[in-house]
Amino acid sequence: MRGKERLIVALDVDDWSRARELAGLLRGVVGGFKVGMRLYYRVGPAAVEFLRGLGREVFADLKLHDIPSTVAGGVRALTAAGASIINVHAAGGRAMMRAAAEAAAAEAARLGIPRPKVVAVTVLTSLDEQALREEVGIPESTLAVALRWALLAKECGLDGAVAAPLEAAAIKKACGPDFLLITPGVRPPGAPLGDQRRVMTPGEAVQAGADYIVVGRPILQAADPVRAAEEIVKSLGG
């Protein structure tokens, strides 16, 4: 996979016109776009459909987490909209993740379209071990939890996981090279961390095993978003 194909830009903006403007500027520079809650809850499936129409990968980052039948319905809707990657929360458990995988395959077959990849969110990159232990009530390390949930996702037939780059190498080693790994919490050297805690640079994340890196604010808030994206792609090898 080339460097350009690895970069997914998080279109975490409130304004649909701005999102479309950014997508138009960046479509030839990056591999795909992430539609998260911030944009999806304002625009809906039209955001996914529009971006898919640009010929780029679309990562529907809605972190589905509910009873299995509800999550399956959400996955079917996102598949029909054209999402190429859909994520669910590993914390939802085995039955929920299996329902998500089955729903993606069934809906894609019904529509005669490629099946989207379904991946599991492990530990949010905004959490450190103290917060995981004292606030969430999980006494294990972030690495141990991310690894356990990634292995469970693989067992359930999911295509991969979303994890902090610090956990990437261990997950790749345990789950195998074909297990897709998406890493948020990526910041170019010198960029503000914001609310991220467990971060690496783009190059470090890929070296650790990331297949895709997700970058938002360092590109969206740059004076020249295209140049900012190009610099990240350059750091990934072109």
- Residues that are catalytic: 61, 63, 66
Nearest CA to 183 among 125, 234, 117, 97? 125
Residues 6 or more apart whose Cβ sits within 8 Å of residue 180? 117, 119, 159, 160, 161, 211, 212
63 marked ligand binding residue: yes
Return d(Cα 238, Cα 26) in angstroms, integer.
15
Would you give the end-to-end CA distance of the chain in angstroms? Answer: 10
216 marked ligand binding residue: yes
17 marked ligand binding residue: no
Residues 6 or more apart whose Cβ sits within 8 Å of residue 191? 217, 218
207 marked ligand binding residue: no
18 marked ligand binding residue: no
Question: Three-state SS for 237?
Answer: coil
234 marked ligand binding residue: no
143 marked ligand binding residue: no
70 marked ligand binding residue: yes
8 marked ligand binding residue: no
Return d(Cα 104, Cα 102) in angstroms, integer.
6
Token reading at 145: 């939890």
195 marked ligand binding residue: no
β-strand partners of 59: 34, 85
130 marked ligand binding residue: no
133 marked ligand binding residue: no
β-strand partners of 182: 162, 212
Nearest CA to 201 among 166, 167, 226, 170? 166
125 marked ligand binding residue: yes
211 marked ligand binding residue: no
How many other C-beta atoms are found inside a 10 Å radius of the C-beta of residue 58? 27
Return d(Cα 82, Cα 49) in angstroms, integer.
6
Annotated binding-site residue numbers: 12, 34, 61-70, 125, 187, 196, 216-217
Annotated binding-site residue numbers for substrate: 12, 34, 61-70, 125, 187, 196, 216-217
